[in-house]
Amino acid sequence: MDSNASRTPAAPLPPPTTADAWSALVADWDSLRHGYHLGDKDEAVLRCVHSLGADVTGPHSLAWTLGLVVLSPYVGWGSPGPGVEAPVKDVLAAVALAHEGHACAHERHPYEPFEEDMDLYLDRLPGALEVLTDPEPGRSGGLDLQDDEDEDDSSANEDSALTGPELLERWHCPRNLAGFAGVALDYIGG
């Protein structure tokens, strides 16, 4: 079937059950973002949409939301087929609505640098996604998205001093999910 045909996947993609399976899915999303995905691009995006839409506050909602952030350049600028952009915007709006307004004690969240330069930080997101979908005890490398050149920024210095559990907590914060959904919506033009 042509990748530009309008269709809806029959069911959400079940969440991968192993770190290797998540890694392969993240690599698939990243290859689509870079334009060398060999499969059906629209099907890959819609599978992510339907998986997130099945439970926008569920245990895998962060991974699916970040998947749509990785896929947002294709949705916004890559000429997706009919029936792709609207469901992406709808599910991202649902995520933002479901997670906004939660109080937290965090001064900063991982989505914030994306507001300043989505394209720069987007290159770092697949590495963070791999850590988030395989949280080995003590593994937090790749979760701090700050640039080495940000050393003069006191907030970047504070973030780099966080422990693995503190970084994970910020990534899983509802305000962070709402923020990432909003950033992706803005990028797509929603």
Is residue 189 predicted with pLDDT exceeding 60? yes
Question: Is 158:146 a contact under the CB 8 Å cutoff?
Answer: no
Is residue 160 predicted with pLDDT exceeding 60? no
Phi (first) and psi of residue 177, to 5 degrees: -60, -45
CA distance 56 to 63: 11
Question: Is 93:80 a contact under the CB 8 Å cutoff?
Answer: no
Which parts of 6-136 fold into alpha helices (H)? 19-34, 41-53, 61-77, 85-99, 112-116, 118-122, 125-132
* 69-113 confidence digits (pLDDT tens): 999 999 999 999 999 999 999 999 999 999 998 999 999 999 999
Mean pLDDT of 11-31: 88
Question: Is 44:64 a contact under the CB 8 Å cutoff?
Answer: no
CA distance 22 to 65: 14
CA distance 107 to 113: 13
Mean pLDDT of 106-124: 92
Confidence band for 114, pLDDT divided at 50, 70 and 90:
very high
Is residue 155 predicted with pLDDT exceeding 80? no
CA distance 140 to 70: 20
Percent of the chain surpassing pLDDT 90: 61
Check residues 62 and 39 and name the one with the higher pLDDT: 62
Q: Which of 2-6, 105-109, 167-171 shows the lowest per-residue confidence on average (mean pLDDT)?
A: 2-6
- pLDDT for the residue 31: 94
- pLDDT for the residue 164: 76
Confidence band for 64, pLDDT divided at 50, 70 and 90:
very high
- pLDDT for the residue 122: 93
Is residue 139 predicted with pLDDT exceeding 70? no
- pLDDT for the residue 151: 47
Contacts of residue 91, Cβ cutoff 8 Å, sequence gap at least 6: 49, 52, 53, 56, 68
Q: Which of helix, strand or coil describes residue 117?
A: coil
- pLDDT for the residue 97: 97
